Amino acid sequence: MKVDVAHVSDIEKRLTVVVPQETVASQFEQAYKELKKNVRLKGFRPGKAPLSLLEKYFKAQVEEDVISKIVQESYPKAIDEAKTVPVSQPKIENAGIECGKEFSFTAVFEVKPEIAPQGYEGLELEREKIAQAGDEELATALEGLRSTYATLKDIEGRALAKGDFGIFDLDAVCEGKPYGGGAQKDFFLEASDTSYLPGFLAQVEGMPIGDERSFSLQLPEDFANKEYAGKQVDVKVVLKGLKERVLPVIDDEFARDLSQKYSCLDDLKKALSDEISTRKRNQAEHGFKEKLYDALIEKNAFDVPKSLIDTQARNMVMETQQMLAQQGIKLESLGQSAGSLIERYRGAAERQVRAALILEAIAAKEGLTADDADFEQQYSEIAAQYGQDVAAVKAALDPEALRPQIVEKKAIDFITAKAHITEK
């Protein structure tokens, strides 16, 4: 087998593979042998059909099967021989195959760009100085708990008002096609300014139970889902029930009901204050990393493989779907689709991939690797984050899946240690 690699661009290669005629002949022989055992031709017992008839009726199929098998077997070997690492599925091209002659095919695929990282030492960066949780933040957190542990009770004797929860049968159509998830039964929805679609609250406010309404909503040009932006949605709703939120009293008893670790309201307030401080630290760290990424991207220009961007965008959509699923929400109920979100996330995905490639190049240049102690620390952090046992985390995770995260963190720490940081 002969292998030749052509440099198409910094992120694309063309691999040409030539398979010797002996291998081609052997594959054809094997293919016809398998076909002969399984095919049934009129006038011949199984396994007795002559090769000439098999070639007459099944030549195209056999050629296709042989090409597929040769490519599947030779492509990984050719990649190893060429010492290259594709980051995309190959586009395979060939000019056909003929028994007794050598066969050649080309595979075009994307690779990571070779980056010589620049300007990562001595960066001028700002970091937010973390303040303790204030009274207003604590009050907001307590109010959030109140809302979370509120109960719902049925409403009788009055119409729907802002802040109520309605149980609707709902059907929406845009340009003759179902909007979002289409018709929905017993759709539970809070009557608020942001519920369902812009203008929806104004149309349903004041509805008594059992009432039916039909109306049209004109979506704004800047509507989040571009597929429906500027279009009219025709809505039909029936209000089947009403509920209102009853908020609990925030006192010592409320704190004890939340958890046995709280003996009084002050214990709960202390825990919330610590959570707020931790969240603020995490937000500040996230903001610092974003500034670091911006600085690195500005100083390092290169092409990014489209396949890596696509993969990252799909991962971001999956994370969004999982987050919504935890809240009992389907993406379609928000008038979104996975395809539209992938397009929306593509810019952010490219930025994340670009930053990751630069950090990977810096780690390689500086000899930053992951050792046993790094893995142990990563296992412990994951276990603490999800409240699990370290041993269970180790059993569930492949160490190789953690290696890029560890190395990237080491690269960030390396850059941070050499940066000029100003606290704001």
236-247 burial, b for 16+ CB within 10 Å, e for fewer? ebbbeebbeeee
Pair (265, 293) in one structural domain? yes
Q: What is the CATH number of the domain that holds 322?
A: 1.10.3120
Q: What is the mean pLDDT of residues 259-263?
A: 93
Is residue 45's pLDDT more than 90?
A: no
Pair (273, 228) in one structural domain? no
Alpha-carbon distance values, 280 to 128, 144, 286, 295 (Å): 9, 17, 10, 23
Pair (238, 311) in one structural domain? no
The one-letter amino acid at 55 = E
Residue 407 belongs to a domain = yes
Pair (160, 205) in one structural domain? yes
- The pLDDT > 90 percentage for the chain reads 76
Residue 146 belongs to a domain = no
Strand partners, 104: 18
Last residue of a domain, which of 110, 136, 165?
110
Pair (262, 372) in one structural domain? yes
Per residue in 334-392, pLDDT (tens digit) is: 778 888 899 999 999 999 999 999 999 999 999 999 999 999 999 999 998 888 899 99
Last residue of a domain, which of 61, 89, 110?
110
Strand partners, 171: 236
Q: What is the CATH number of the domain that holds 8?
A: 3.30.70.1050
Would residue 298 be called left, alpha or beta, if left means φ above 0 and alpha means ψ between -120 and 50 degrees? Answer: alpha
Residue located via tokens 């412990």: 380
Could you tell me the two tokens for 333?
Answer: 């109920």
Residue 353 belongs to a domain = yes
In this structure, what DSSP letter does residue 374 have? H
Residue 117 belongs to a domain = no
Quote the pLDDT of residue 23: 94
Contact 104, 16 (CB under 8 A): yes
Quote the pLDDT of residue 387: 84
Pair (402, 262) in one structural domain? yes
Helices (H), 226-371: 252-258, 265-299, 306-326, 338-366
Residue located via tokens 């910094």: 10
Is residue 115's pLDDT more than 90?
A: yes
Residue 132 belongs to a domain = no
Residue 355 belongs to a domain = yes
Model confidence band, residue 38 (pLDDT cutoffs 50, 70, 90):
confident
**How many domains does the structure of the chain reveal?**
3
Per residue in 269-294, pLDDT (tens digit) is: 999 999 999 899 999 999 999 999 99
Could you tell me the two tokens for 2?
Answer: 């002969």
Provide the residue range defining the domain that includes 71: 2-110
Pair (227, 155) in one structural domain? yes
Residue 134 belongs to a domain = no
Pair (392, 268) in one structural domain? yes
Last residue of a domain, which of 246, 268, 303?
246
Contact 153, 244 (CB under 8 A): yes
